[in-house]
Amino acid sequence: MSDLNGKIDLLKAALSFIPGRAALLLLPILMTAGSAAAQPPNILGNPDFDVDLSSWTSEGGTAVWSPEDADGAPDSGSAQLDASLSFSSLYQCVDVGGGEPYQARVNIRYLSPVQDDELRLRIFWHDAEKCTIHSIVGLDRRGLIPQNTNWRELALQNLVAPPTAVSAWVDVVALPSSGLGLLHVDDFRLIPGTIFSDGFESGDTSAWSGAIGTRHGAVSESG
């Protein structure tokens, strides 16, 4: 995190030496460049399901590769999970750092004739390597009841792995009530670190020099 904080400090210093209107025009460019440079890597294997389901395992229903991509990319695809059982999941186990922050997110598209089926994004933290089943030291999860069949995102933000955690079991789970569900999964992410909050969305620019909030959540020259 120290490297990220250093990049943020450099960005603030750069903006303080640029005239107000010029800083306003350059801010989106500088923010994009800074965010790209500081973005931690996704620690999941084969998160975009470009050509197959390698690195992933299904439980309950059968999973197959599908050419349907969440972003409509012609050279990628998704995982298609048969959720016709009462419990079906797609999971992966990865190494993590105890006490470290993480973000998890996944894009899903769920097809079912019943609207009260439940989907969950879950992380089981383990204090043993390879997610030994009897070593769980924590659980984070988020549930969703879908109202349509569009692609949507499930996310777990600002997670902190338990101090003794060394591995994490990450999965997406379908709990269909009808026994007729079909789940597409794409863009699975488990990223170290917390979300960078610049404060501009809320109009709070107290951490930035020479700027005040505007009604559009951007910044303008003070004075």
Domain boundaries, the chain: 2-40+196-221, 57-192
Amino acid code (one letter) for 183 = L
Per-residue tokens: 127? 């204090």
pLDDT above 50: residue 88: yes
- pLDDT averaged over every residue in the chain: 78
Cα dihedral 17, 23, 26, 28, rounded to 10, equals 120
Beta pairing, strands 101-111 & 211-213: unpaired
CATH class of the domain whose range is 57-192: mainly beta
Helices assigned H by DSSP within the chain: 2-16, 20-38
Q: Which residue has the higher pLDDT, 110 or 2?
A: 110
pLDDT at residue number 117: 73
Per-residue tokens: 58? 């299904």
Q: What value does the mean pLDDT take over residues 11-37? A: 55
Q: Which residue has the higher pLDDT, 102 or 33?
A: 102
User: Please, is 96 exposed, middle or buried when counting C-beta atoms within 10 Å of its C-beta (0-12, 13-18, 19+)?
Assistant: buried
> What is the reported pTM?
0.70
Lowest pLDDT segment from 71-75, 183-187, 200-204, 214-218: 214-218
